[in-house]
Amino acid sequence: MKATGLIVEYNPFHNGHLYHLTESLKQSQADVLIVVMSGHFTQRGEPTIVNKWERAKMALLNGADLVVELPYVYSCQSADLFAKGAVSILTHLRVNELIFGSESGNINELLTLDQIMQEDQFQKKLKQQLKSGLSLPKASAATLESFNLNHELATSPNNTLGLYYLKAIRELNSPITAGTLTRIHSDYRDLAPTHHAISSATSIRNLREKGQAIDAFVPKNVAHLLKEHYELTATYHTWEAYFPFLKQKILTLTPKGLLGIHDVEEGLENRLYAAMIKSSSFEEFMNHVKTKRYTRTRIQRICAHILTQTEKTWIRALQIENGAPYVRILGSTPTGKRYLKQIKKEVTVPIYSKFELKAHEILKHEQAVTAAYSAILPEPLCTQLNQEEYMNFPLHIER
């Protein structure tokens, strides 16, 4: 069976994702579609709109055959590590092709740019720009311009992530072939819909929080699941909802404790603590903390690390740059099950269908992630979600 892989967050699954999924199948002529999906926190450090089990169900109902979890230690990270974790999992699962969305839509253009960015001269100039205090995206743009290259090609968000996928394939010596589709009608940064049927996940979340209709932008089954979730929980998973828990953690950890959290550089711990003392909302806190150097995305990821007690010494010891050490199945269709049975003997890392106490410590950390994510839920839903982390078997969807 030929397998095609997608790397996703589905926060939530929408019509643009459905287009990506169906067109990827057409382009690759695959027999099975495998999705690597972030768990409860995204690459930009945001809590997901609904939990990973619900989002896995959305994917399976709309064309995915196998949904596997991208562990927190990769999903809530810089693009480099996010890509490394996801590509390594697809490699473990013997995927033939990875297809990602991009502004370019031209894989040869991106492969050529990837080659240029590997060159010593380019890397030397990039390091100089980073030392000057620029963020990685801005440093990359400045470096590209210095080489008379179109900086938009490498700094548009989906192109940038695509280049990290190409880098991960190369560094992991993966046999996966890369392909791309042009992202259509919306940008992930759009705060409001710009098209009648396809809109960004950000704008859909904003509409939902305001109580406005989202049915035009998501499949019917997704609209139903989202409505059902809110009727059950009366809760939106936003940073404002988590603010009381974040405030308690930051003020009780104190600067000394904050310094031990992953991605907190020396000096930032004092800034975080001082900002929290005078903040009464998450937005106020962000406005006090973020700078050109410390972007909103980076601070949000640090906030997630604080809630989940993700410490820098622990992350360093894991050597996550080498790739994910296991595969965890969240759900499958009969086609996905057949594929797993076919490749099982070829896979060289453990495949977990259920949480195990003897599992790798990266998987064990998902307990803390779920505990943090579930904290805003009313009882007994909070307890139920924590129990699901231990007890759930993969979802099985018959389409």
Distances (CA, A) of 227 to 46, 207, 285: 20, 13, 30
Quote the tokens at residue 12. 């939530």
Look up the CATH number of the domain holding residue 355.
Answer: 3.40.50.620
184 is in an annotated binding site: yes
- pTM, full prediction: 0.92
8 is in an annotated binding site: yes
- In the predicted model, what is the mean pLDDT of residues 81-96? 98
Q: Domain check: are 83 and 191 in the same one?
A: yes
7 is in an annotated binding site: yes
Q: Domain check: are 78 and 185 in the same one?
A: yes
Select from 274, 290, 318 the last residue of a domain: 318
Q: Domain check: are 209 and 352 in the same one?
A: yes
307 is in an annotated binding site: no
How many domains are contained in the chain? 2
- In the predicted model, what is the mean pLDDT of residues 63-86? 97
Q: Domain check: are 10 and 76 in the same one?
A: yes
The pLDDT confidence band at residue 145, using thresholds 50, 70 and 90, is confident
326 is in an annotated binding site: no
Distances (CA, A) of 379 to 82, 223, 374: 33, 24, 10
Q: Domain check: are 226 and 276 in the same one?
A: no
Weakest-pLDDT range from 21-35, 133-147, 219-233, 255-269: 133-147
11 is in an annotated binding site: yes
pLDDT (tens digit, 9 = 90+) per residue, 117-141?
889 998 999 899 888 888 777 788 8
Residue 168 is assigned to a structural domain of this protein: no
Q: Domain check: are 187 and 209 in the same one?
A: yes
| Torsion 287-291-292-297 (CA) sign | negative
Across the chain, mean pLDDT equals 92
Measure the CA–CA gap between 111 and 172, rounded to whole angstroms: 16
Domain with 366, as residue range(s), is: 3-103+179-236+323-396
**Under a CB-based contact definition with an 8 Å cutoff, are residues 84 and 45 in contact?**
no
Q: Domain check: are 65 and 53 in the same one?
A: yes
pLDDT (tens digit, 9 = 90+) per residue, 264-294?
999 999 999 999 999 999 999 999 999 888 9
**Under a CB-based contact definition with an 8 Å cutoff, are residues 272 and 258 in contact?**
yes
Residue 368 is assigned to a structural domain of this protein: yes
Q: Domain check: are 96 and 184 in the same one?
A: yes
Select from 287, 318, 349 the last residue of a domain: 318
Select from 318, 351, 379 the last residue of a domain: 318
170 is in an annotated binding site: no
378 is in an annotated binding site: no
Residue 334 is assigned to a structural domain of this protein: yes
Q: Domain check: are 389 and 249 in the same one?
A: no
17 is in an annotated binding site: yes
